[in-house]
Structure 1
Amino acid sequence: MTEHYSTLTQMGITSFDNISRYQLRREARADVLKIYYHRPKGSLLSRSKKFTFARPGSLGPMEFQKTEQWHRLEDTSPVLRQALLELHRLLGGETHSDEATLDTKQQLLADLEHMERVMQDKLDELRRQIEALK
């Protein structure tokens, strides 16, 4: 199976069957790919992995960087593009990167909700680990 997903394997991903979804978002100077896994309750394995792909700096003035055209630029890493193709193929054509179509307010609200979920999941995970030590 690793021969079908060579880019993901090079990124350190080995449990292809446990991948549940992925998310791609753009930050100021990087693209961030986050891969989520199915994990059983009580598992100490991480539920996600995050990969950051830097983009070339200074592609345009700051005013342009805030426009929709900026977010559609094809300046992503070739490794990221290949990883996305492999993830798309692995998950049967499902895509989870619809956030690119949201307007700015919706994007900020989605980011806020995502951060709240991440923080709550991390707090729950730490509590489970503390309980396991007792």
Structure 2
Amino acid sequence: MSEFNTLSAMGLTDVNAISHYKLSRQDNQEVLKVYFKRPAGSAMPDSSTFCFDCNTVVPADAEAASQSKDNGGSDPVLIAAVNELNALNKSMSNHDRRMQLVNELDRLEQIMAAKLQELREDLNRIV
């Protein structure tokens, strides 16, 4: 567990339950959403969301300026968490990764089908 200190500090103690993560930017925040593998009917959450403010502080010296430029102003905790999540992701077997991608594709297909149906219904109401 010692290799995932940042994730543990964020409350993600069971790293084996992590399936994948997504990183996005909203307004002046970077949002890290971590997804978990849960059995059907589990009362545990399917994901956890963490928000990090974008760094707008002016660096005090050349070294700090270089570091800030290299990480795009991202929070150091976020960078450490993403590095740990990437290391965890690399340790997943190809079969696990493949299943994760298949599940993600299935989910996206369901979302797109529902949205297309909604648009068709709206179009039929107009005509």
TM-score, normalised on structure 1? Answer: 0.56
Task: Give the 4+ runs in structure 1 shifted more than 2 A.
Answer: 56-59
**Matched residue count:** 85
Q: Render the CA deviation track for 1:21-74: whole Å, top value 9, x for unaligned.
A: 000001111000000000000000000000000113599xxxxxxxxxxxx971
CA separation of 1:58 and 1:89: change in aligned 2, threshold 3 A: closer
Q: Match of 1:84?
A: 82
Q: Match of 1:28?
A: 27
How far apart, in 1, do the equivalents of 2:48 and 2:4 lie?
A: 16
Q: Match of 1:120?
A: none
Q: Which amino acid in the other structure matches residue 55 of structure 1?
A: C
Secondary structure in structure 1 of the residue aligned to 2:27: coil
CA separation of 1:73 and 1:85: change in aligned 2, threshold 3 A: closer
Structure with larger RCO (C-alpha < 8 A, sep 6+): 1
Quick check: 1:29–1:57 contact (8 Å CA) kept in 2?
A: no
Q: Which amino acid in the other structure matches residue 41 of structure 2?
A: G
Quick check: 2:55–2:75 contact (8 Å CA) kept in 1?
A: no
| Structure of larger gyration radius | 2
Q: Render the CA deviation track for 1:93-114: whole Å, top value 9, x for unaligned.
A: 78xxxxxxxxxxxxxxx9xx6x
How far apart, in 1, do the equivalents of 2:15 and 2:27 lie?
A: 30
| Sequence identity (%) | 35
Secondary structure in structure 2 of the residue aligned to 1:9: helix
Q: Match of 2:51?
A: 52
Quick check: 2:56–2:73 contact (8 Å CA) kept in 1?
A: no
CA separation of 1:93 and 1:25: change in aligned 2, threshold 3 A: farther
Quick check: 1:33–1:51 contact (8 Å CA) kept in 2?
A: yes
Unpaired runs of 5+ residues, structure 1, are 60-71, 95-109, 117-134
Q: Are positions 1:10 and 2:12 aligned together?
A: no
Say what the alpha-carbon RMSD is for the aligned residues: 2.9
How far apart, in 1, do the equivalents of 2:77 and 2:57 lie?
A: 21
Q: Are positions 1:43 and 2:46 aligned together?
A: no
CA separation of 1:88 and 1:73: change in aligned 2, threshold 3 A: closer
Unpaired runs of 5+ residues, structure 2, are 59-69, 93-107, 115-127
